[in-house]
Amino acid sequence: MSNLHKILDEKLVRVGVLGATGTVGQRFISLLSNHPWFIIHALGASPRSAGKPYAKATNWKQTTPIPSNVREIIVQECKPEHFSDCAIVFSGLDADVAGDIEGAFRAADLAVFSNAKNYRRDPLVPLIVPLVNDSHLSMIPQQQALHQPPLQKGFILTNANCSTTGLVVPLRALEKSFGPVEACFVTTMQAISGAGYPGVSALDIVDNVVPYIGGEEEKMEWETLKILGGIAEEDGKKAFDMHSRYPLRVSASCNRVPVIDGHTMTVSVRFARRPPPSPQQVREALVAYTPEAQSMGCPSAPVHAVFVHEEPDRPQPRLDRYYQDGAGVSVGRVRQCAVLDIKFVVLANNVSIGAATSSIINAELAVLKGVVKLPIM
């Protein structure tokens, strides 16, 4: 372990970013440029961008300038041979290309941490929200063993949809304290950055709400089960149990609103346990929740996994989305629900904990748990 920490402290873990010129890729680069362990070694994008220095290849849309140590890195095509020195490859690829490219990287024995949706439903690929279910890392050896040919270091690990992420963090905290949740109603008010760039047309969203985001409700209803569920083992074969021992019904209604960053949600839950916990007990359980990412010392983990607001009108995306660099989840207005048991408001920064930050903490956890094999140096 001391050898591991020496490697980390010397910042010797080389990482690559796929889809580096896109919205998620830019966010990865912003976060990784100051990372205490990881150093950006390779950037991949479309053939159109390949061969150019990063500063020329990207249409930078972040509110901080391009990190100076990244400006001159030459962008590569997304081919494994350009990333063979990378212990970790982060993928911000669009879904239309992510399937093939991420598959090829895994086949080349590379460890891929993906934001894309393509492998989320794969029965061997963990879908990990780092404040929730890093225990699912235990599925990686089986993924490697069943690959043809078997892999030594390579795997694919996905993180969840941005809206799912905001939901499952408080749900996990509640289940840990009070046992299974059996029903959950969620209405989202999602930021436009969740659709990427150019994404949502201004004509569709200024002075408007769009009460539909294609595929989003299905993702929230399904991903929640995979993430909050456990891992069943039968005949030596592991499988995600989809919360099946305690069936959980999730009903999601997803809306786009004119907010730049930060998904706000109204959530109502029913617990299996009767009587259910009181609002005050729920508040205390949320505050007390400490995921492994914190206790193991992941540098990108937030101090408060769930920050509970006491003011009646918070959280609000404009005021609260950048708290803790958006790495935690904010909850407010915990109160009785007349239909289910308890209702509350959730805010999650879709471009941080809802995207790149999740992948990075996942990678930190995978390094600390030895799932990522670091080169001996």
Catalog residues that contact a second copy under the rule CB under 8 A: 61-65, 183-185, 187, 189, 192-193, 197-212, 214, 221, 249-251, 253, 255, 257-260, 264, 266, 268, 312-320, 322-323, 332-333, 337-340, 343, 345
| DSSP track, 162-178 | HHHHHHHHHHHHHHHHH
DSSP-derived secondary structure letter, 246: S
User: Long-range contacts: 58-67, Cβ < 8 Å, 24+?
Assistant: 58/20, 58/21, 58/25, 58/26, 59/21, 59/197, 60/26, 61/23, 61/26, 61/197, 62/26, 62/27, 62/30, 64/30, 66/29, 67/29, 67/30, 67/33, 67/34
- Closest CB 5 distance from a second copy, rounded Å: 30
**Is 81 or 311 the residue whose CB approaches a second copy more closely?**
311
CA nearest neighbour of 361 among 165, 103, 104: 165
- Closest CB 64 distance from a second copy, rounded Å: 8
User: What is the enclosing helix (H) or strand (E) of 203?
Assistant: helix 202-205
- Closest CB 271 distance from a second copy, rounded Å: 14
Residue 304 designated active-site: no
- Closest CB 96 distance from a second copy, rounded Å: 18
- Closest CB 133 distance from a second copy, rounded Å: 21
**Is 101 or 250 the residue whose CB approaches a second copy more closely?**
250
Catalytic residue, from 86, 162, 254, 298: name it: 162
User: Which residue's structure tokens are 């969840």?
Assistant: 160
Catalytic residue, from 82, 243, 263, 304: name it: 263
Residue 218 to residue 224: CA distance in whole angstroms: 10
**Is 330 or 358 the residue whose CB approaches a second copy more closely?**
330
Q: Are 264 and 209 spatial neighbours (Cβ–Cβ below 8 Å)?
A: no
Within 10 Å of residue 364's Cβ, how many Cβ atoms? Answer: 27
Q: Sheet harboring 263-271: ordered strands across? A: 249-256, 181-190, 263-271, 342-348, 329-336, 306-308
Residue 221 to residue 121: CA distance in whole angstroms: 13
Task: At 321, list the tokens.
Answer: 């989305």
**Is 24 or 88 the residue whose CB approaches a second copy more closely?**
24
Residue 263 designated active-site: yes
Residue 328 to residue 346: CA distance in whole angstroms: 11
User: Which residue's structure tokens are 């993702």?
Assistant: 219
- Closest CB 316 distance from a second copy, rounded Å: 6
**Is 34 or 63 the residue whose CB approaches a second copy more closely?**
63
Active site residues: 162, 263
